[in-house]
Amino acid sequence: MISKYCITSSFIFLLFIISSTNGTSPLAPALYVLGDSLLDSGNNNYLQTIIKANYSPYGEDFVNKCTGRFSNGKTVADFIAEFLGLPYAPPFLSFKPRDKLPLTGLNYASGACGILRDTGHHLGDLLSLEEQVGLFQDTLVRLQGRNFKSSKELSEYLSKSIFIISIGSNDYISNYPATLLHDTNKRFARLLTSKLSHQLQRLYNLGARKIVVSEIGPIGCVPAITSQNKHKGKCVEHKNQLVSEYNSMLPAMLQNLTSSLQGSSFVNGHAYRLASDAIINPSNYGLKDASNPCCKTWLSGIEGCIPFVEPCDRRDKYYFWDGYHPSEIVYSLFASRCINNASFCSPFSLKELVKM
């Protein structure tokens, strides 16, 4: 049964969306989504992998229930789509080669993937960031052949579209230990930012101009990590220090791309700081539990939700939905900050970005 409290939190955000769009046409023609399980809307359902979220209680509070989202409800991408006045970006892999693709955007994100091609592949078939950009390129070939009279029309459409990317945590969670044998953390962070920069330039060359890239969150605070490592306080700090090195390099890389690629706007989503504060001071955000997963998980929080087991009642009071992923209420917090606050999504909030 859906909690009235979860309905209330979604309803409040919906009122915000209605007041923001004010019944006008969409603020952008399309939303394109790339990344990992924080944004996956169901692509892993179509891949041979054990990393899936296509069963109850995933989607407990989502209109279509268990779609493959690693959440009890909406993700950041869904809330941003609502703000833009667009439908939720469907998973690209749900379309067959001859299907007509929507003009309002697509989702290429794949749970457990990373910036590096080999990240997560011990878990089965996944879409690395490089492969996701390749699928976006395939998308453009299909769209131009059916929906746009000229490359100029397609370019104008893409220049006004919004692209959001959240990726990198799995490179540290499942790929870093092996790399540690021959790389320092700083070198590993440089490797990731270099690979990411290359894929962002590919997106730009394909026509993307407004691109929001999220930091990696505090992985040392997720239940899957805290349950397996000795730590003082709420988090495993040496794990957080690893991703902090990457996060410290991200702003300069994005600023350099904006300066060197004409007409581009690369926005940095400061997810780490907000996530850390919400976990350390949950009551400041209306939360009661920022340490334990809401759903019953395998291996004491290490894995995903146990199928068909009833989750906690007050999902709007939990930071974590399962051993790795935030709950819908936390995703709504991140989305609203990025939409409105230029210090969270910098140097431009989404409200500012859509007007550029």
**Residue among 9, 322, 327, 349 flagged as catalytic:** 322
Catalytic option among 37, 161, 174, 327: 37
- Of the candidates 174, 264, 325, 327, the residue annotated as catalytic is 325
Nearest to 166 by CA among 256, 42, 33, 257: 33
336 catalytic, yes or no?
A: no
Helix (H), strand (E), coil (C) string for the chain: CCCHHHHHHHHHHHHHHHHHHCCCCCCCCCEEEEECCCCCCCHHHHCCECCCCCCCCCCCCCCCCCCCCCCCCCCHHHHHHHHHCCCCCCEHHHCCCCCCCCCCCCECCCCCCCCCCCCCHHHECCCCHHHHHHHHHHHHHHHHHHCCCCHHHHHHHHHHCEEEEECCHHHHHCCHHHHCCCCCHHHHHHHHHHHHHHHHHHHHHHCCCEEEEECCCCHHHCHHHHCCCCCCCCCCHHHHHHHHHHHHHHHHHHHHHHHHCCCCEEEEECHHHHHHHHHHCHHHHCCCEEEEECCCEHHHHCCCECCCCCCCCCHHHEEECCCCCECHHHHHHHHHHHHHCCCCEECCCHHHHCCC
270 is known as an active-site residue: no
Report the distance separating Cα 131 and Cα 110, nearest Å: 10
37 is catalytic: yes
The residues assigned a catalytic role are 37, 322, 325
